[in-house]
Amino acid sequence: MVTPEHLQVVARHLAAENEHRMEDTLATLHPDCVFEDVAMGLTWNGREGAREYYRIWWNAFDLQVRGKRRHGTSEGMLIAETSYVGRHVGDFFGLAPTQRPIELRLAVMIDFRDGLMNGERFYYDLLGLLRQLGASADAFRPQPAEVAA
């Protein structure tokens, strides 16, 4: 079951994430957390992997997370419907900044361990994001520095 403590750690996480405060964001994550970006087919492990994941997105977009709905499961997983809203301001896996606005709707599944977020699994429309950037899927080849299978 998702507890009030789980919701508090998520609130701290989102506040830090929206202000791009890396260390405060990472402090809400379990040291062995796993970030899975289903759209790209890539996984990042541990806090250093999470740091790399946030660095990729924060350097490329001036994002804000806009929460929509949250659903808790009896197994203790939080499923959130949300949007990333921002502008493309930096390199995104080789795509030069376009300054175009984006709104990326996504679903994220969050599980918990030892009072912290143990991982996030992201589902979103990657082709829709690329269309907003005016980019072709053929030219997009995500290969971050710190990827673990």
Quick: pLDDT tens for 91-127.
Answer: 999 899 999 999 999 999 999 999 999 999 999 999 9
Q: Encoding tokens for residue 80?
A: 């959130």
Domain housing 114: 4-132
To the nearest whole percent, how much of the chain has pLDDT over 90?
77
Whether 76 is covered by a domain: the verdict is: yes
Whether 88 is covered by a domain: the verdict is: yes
* Model pTM score: 0.89
pLDDT reported for residue 109 = 96
Averaged pLDDT score across all residues of the chain: 91
To the nearest whole percent, how much of the chain has pLDDT over 70?
95
Whether 140 is covered by a domain: the verdict is: no
